[in-house]
Amino acid sequence: MDQLYKLPEEYVALRESVRALAEKKIKPFAHDVDANARFPQEAADALQAADLAAAHVPTEFGGQGADALAVVIIIEEVARVCASSSLIPAVNKLGSVPLMLGGSKEQKKRWLSELVKGKGFSYCLSESEAGSDAAAMKTRAIKDGDGWILNGSKKWISHAGVSEYYTVLASTDPTKGAKGITAFVVEKSDAGVSFGAPEKKMGFKGSPTREVYFDNVKIGDDRRISEVGAGFSLAMQTLNHTRITIAAQALGIAQGAFEAAASYAKERKQFGKSIFDFQAVQFMLADMAMQIAAARELTYAAAARSERGERDLTFFSAASKCFATDVAMQVTTDAVQVFGGYGYVSDHPVERMMRDAKLTQIYEGTNQIQRVVMARNLNLD
């Protein structure tokens, strides 16, 4: 019974090491990264040096072979101090999971071995008119001899322009809808690839989000990582595994906001005593801690299912993402309330955390879409 609901020591040690790194090498730059909307290069360097930027890559390709729960803990601890920095390992996993699921050994060696050296990997699915309805994409890949020609654009791409590699979903047969979509790897250096201006966002300001354009991009068939027409299925399989990383981000943001609010409540004095002594504040902090604990259990359970490839992964992946991100939004909102007027200005991190939390409810599928996914995957047997 002692081992039930208790993390094995290796995960506890991982959390401690990542937290120490985050506190020392990432947290000191978090405010500046947000204020100046700049890429968190200090975090990228620190994560790369510690082999944490793409820890999920199997050891045979030079990675750490970190399992899904280990990756969740890495992202959670980085997001606790800087959400923008947590997108470095999260985006690298999102971009490369399609390759890991659908690519050949030669393809994996070609790109994963470069990913672990610091060459980022982004994911290109969404378009201006194809967000929640991803199958409505207009980007085309037309067969050209023994290769393909890509034309179109992708919207809201995290780390666009920073990453060297891009998993791109394109329609190879528009008459077949979702069954006419194929997945490819496109490289930043390919002729015809360009990027739009960085989006001016509410939060996650340190993570560049740009449009990616494909203008007669010629690639060989060796860039195709799904069977022709099987790209949409591969994309959905990918999200089953990577939505959990968004839950991890949300957990970290919520944990950081809770800790800041609890510490402030003990220091801030009103009416002759700390505001922590007022029951109204105690109840807010208790609810925050309870919600975070529940979200963490659900997220870790989803990560375990991801690692084992269990049949109910789709439900748990959507549930963890939906629940944890809703919790993050509530917790950060309450944290700002605990700080009062100070919470509304950027002198304290909870203002940034509240802005960052909002995105987690939107990207990799809005929480409304997550509820649709859950409803379609209810186990009613």
Query: In Å, how far from its chain's centre is CA 177?
Result: 27
- Cα separation, 134 vs 137, whole angstroms: 6
> Which contiguous run of DSSP H or E holds residue 233?
helix 231-267
Choosing from 114, 211, 351, 364, the catalytic residue is: 364
Q: What Rg, from alpha-carbon coordinates, does the chain have?
A: 21
Q: Looking up tokens 């069977």, which residue turns up? A: 227
Q: Is 364 a catalytic site residue?
A: yes
* Cβ-contact 121, 96 below 8 angstroms: yes
- Give the amino acid at 212: V
Q: Which of 212, 185, 205, 190 is nearest to 95 (CA)?
A: 185
- Give the amino acid at 172: T
**Terminal-to-terminal C-alpha distance of the chain:** 29
What DSSP line would sit under 286-300, residue for residue? Answer: HHHHHHHHHHHHHHH
- Rounded to whole angstroms, the maximal C-alpha distance in the chain is 80
Query: Could you tell me which residues are beta bridge partners of residue 360?
Result: none
For residue 141, give the DSSP letter: E
- Cα separation, 33 vs 46, whole angstroms: 15
Query: What is the rounded (10 degree) CA torsion for 139, 97, 176, 178?
Result: -90
Query: In Å, how far from its chain's centre is CA 219?
Result: 28
- Cα separation, 167 vs 95, whole angstroms: 6
What DSSP line would sit under 246-261, residue for residue? Answer: HHHHHHHHHHHHHHHH
- Cβ contacts of 124-129, under 8 Å, gap ≥ 24: 124/154, 124/157, 124/166, 124/167, 124/168, 124/169, 124/186, 124/212, 125/154, 125/169, 125/235, 126/154, 126/155, 126/156, 126/157, 127/152, 127/153, 127/154, 127/155, 128/153, 128/155
Q: How many CB atoms lie within 10 A of CB 220?
A: 12
Q: What residues act catalytically?
A: 364
